[in-house]
Chain A
Amino acid sequence: MTPMVKAEGVHKRFGKLEVLRGITLEVQPGQVMCILGPSGSGKTTFIRCINHLEQINSGRLWVDGELVGYRQVGDELHELPDREVARQRTRIGMVFQRFNLFGHMTALGNVVEAPIRVKKTPKDVAVRSAKELLTRVGLADKFDAYPSQLSGGQQQRVAIARALAMNPKLMLFDEPTSALDPELVGEVLDVMRTLAEIGMTMIVVTHEIGFAREAGDVAVFMDGGVVVESGAPDEVLVNPREERTKSFLSKVL
Chain B
Amino acid sequence: MAAVVLAFLFYAFVVSMVTNGNFEWGVVRQYMTDPRILRGLLLTLELTASAMAIGVVLGVVLAVMRLSPNPLVSGAAWVYIWFFRGTPVLVQIIFWYYIGSLYPHVSIGIPLGPEFTQVNVQALITPFLAGMLALGLNEAAYMAEIVRAGILSVDEGQTEAANALGMSRLLTMRRIVLPQAMRVIIPPTGNETISMLKTSSLVAFIALADLLYTATIIYAANYKTIQLLIVASLWYLICTTVLSIGQYYIERHYARGTRGRQRAMQDFWLNMADLRPFAGFRRDQSGPPL
Binding site for B on A (CB under 8 A): 51, 53, 82-83, 86-90, 92-94, 96, 98, 100-106, 113-114, 117-118, 146-148, 159, 162-163, 166
Among candidates A88, A100, A147, residue contacting B257 with C-beta atoms closer than 8 Å: A147
- Give 30 A-B contacts (CB < 8 Å), ordered by A residue: A51-B164, A53-B160, A82-B168, A83-B168, A86-B163, A86-B167, A89-B163, A89-B164, A89-B166, A92-B164, A94-B164, A96-B160, A96-B161, A98-B157, A100-B155, A102-B161, A102-B180, A104-B180, A104-B254, A106-B257, A114-B165, A114-B166, A117-B167, A118-B165, A118-B171, A146-B257, A146-B258, A148-B257, A162-B165, A163-B164
> At the interface, is chain B mostly helix, strand, loop or mixed?
helix
CB-CB under 8 A from A162, the residues of chain B are 165
Among candidates B162, B165, B257, residue contacting A104 with C-beta atoms closer than 8 Å: B257
CB-CB under 8 A from A106, the residues of chain B are 257
User: Smallest CB–CB gap between A140 and chain B, Å?
Assistant: 20
B179 contacts the other chain (Cβ, under 8 Å)?
A: yes
Closest to A102 in B: B176
B175 contacts the other chain (Cβ, under 8 Å)?
A: yes
In angstroms, Cα B171 to Cα A82, docked, is 12
Among candidates A83, A105, A147, A166, residue contacting B165 with C-beta atoms closer than 8 Å: A166
User: Smallest CB–CB gap between B67 and chain A, Å?
Assistant: 15
In angstroms, Cα B157 to Cα A166, docked, is 19
Q: Are B164 and A117 interface neighbours, CB within 8 A? A: no
In angstroms, Cα B26 to Cα A5, docked, is 84
Within 8 A of A (CB), among B142-198: 155, 157-158, 160-169, 171, 175-176, 179-180
CB-CB under 8 A from B254, the residues of chain A are 104
Closest to A159 in B: B161
CB-CB under 8 A from B161, the residues of chain A are 94, 96, 100-102, 159
User: Smallest CB–CB gap between A52 and chain B, Å?
Assistant: 9
CB-CB under 8 A from A113, the residues of chain B are 165, 175
Q: Are A105 and B257 interface neighbours, CB within 8 A? A: yes
In angstroms, Cα B180 to Cα A101, docked, is 12
User: Smallest CB–CB gap between A176 and chain B, Å?
Assistant: 13
- Known A118-B171, A147-B257, A148-B258; judge A96-B157 contact (CB<8 A): yes
In angstroms, Cα B161 to Cα A162, docked, is 10
